[in-house]
A = this chain, B = another copy of it.
Amino acid sequence: MKVFVIGIGLIGGSFAIDIKAAFNEAEIYGIDKSEENLDKALSLGIIDQKADLEDLDKANVVITAIPVDATVKVLPNILDKIDDECLVFDAGSTKKKLCDVISDHPKRRNYLAAHPIAGTEFSGPQAAIANLYRGKTNIICEVEKTAFKLQERAMEIFTRLGMRIRYMDPASHDIHIAYVSHLSHISSFMLGKTVIEKEKNERDIFDLAGSGFASTVRLAKSSPAMWAPIFKHNKENVIETLDEYIANLTQFKKLMEADNFEEIYKEMEDTNHIKSILKGIS
């Protein structure tokens, strides 16, 4: 099985590592606009060979793990180049624009729209790790538009990597994921910004910050190259979440100004049951 991974960073590299471990016969070809990343991936043993888009006619599986705006541009070309039996799936954090752009492509049936909910705040091939996807959710959109045989090949990969599958339409995916993923990143980036702006003397932050702060700003370490395009793609949904988040923060502030700490207690108590909702995620 010849697997071509386009974008050999955290996400693509981690797919490469696990697929190689799970499929004896897998050969991993890396494609990346950064020659440096390809060399690193090769020396780390994440890929077997460097390749480029012209080689895609040899592929059995193509995985795109590049920023979502780049995927939208390149996906039609990928489908143009591949063999009729080749499976293409992506790992992008938005799904609607991607599904739209290839909806009328003659090889639409070769593509599976996927979003594995997995990652860390790090990036690049050196951030790729084994078992990143084990126990994680993979959201599949418009599964009915992918050829049966290629659905099966994809499920075989996802199952061997330990993922559980959820099916969803692209528009619903983009709305829900705005709440449980995209908004968290903005809240974290802006928290980091607010504290850095205030604390010019950074030693002070370091000395006073505890694990709670570290946890809350962890996502502010994420790659802007990956995240700016996500916010662009999911602009309307993300703005809606931001409106609601800002309204809740403003209301909290008003309760404080009015010395209504009973209501503040109640707000926190009502939100505490996030404990039971999140049980099992860490």
Interface residues of A (CB under 8 A from B): 117-121, 136-137, 139, 166, 176-177, 179-181, 183-199, 202, 204-222, 224-225, 227-229, 231-232, 235, 238-239, 241-246, 248-250, 252-253, 256-257, 259, 261-262, 264-275, 277-278, 280-282
Contact = CB atoms under 8 A, between A and B. Distances in A.
A216 B183 CA distance: 10
A184 B220 CA distance: 13
Given A190-B245, A245-B190, A246-B253, A264 B216 contact: no
Given A187-B187, A228-B264, A249-B249, A239 B212 contact: no
Given A181-B213, A187-B191, A238-B256, A227 B281 contact: no
Nearest to A262: B228
Contacts of A277: 196, 202, 205-206
Nearest to A166: B207
B208 A212 contact: no
Q: 5 tightest CB-CB pairs across the interface, nearest first?
A: A224-B268, A117-B210, A184-B216, A228-B265, A192-B274
16 contacts: A121-B212, A137-B208, A177-B208, A181-B209, A181-B212, A183-B195, A190-B248, A192-B271, A194-B241, A194-B245, A196-B277, A198-B241, A225-B265, A229-B261, A242-B249, A245-B249
Count of this chain's copies in the oligomeric assembly: 2
A212 B218 contact: yes
Contacts of A274: 192, 196, 217, 220-221
A282 B210 contact: no
Given A166-B208, A179-B199, A180-B199, 13 more contacts: A119-B210, A176-B208, A180-B209, A184-B212, A188-B216, A194-B245, A194-B248, A206-B278, A212-B219, A216-B216, A220-B274, A227-B268, A239-B253
A231 B257 CA distance: 11
Given A274-B196, A277-B205, A210 B261 contact: no
A280 to B, nearest CB: 7
B117 A209 contact: yes
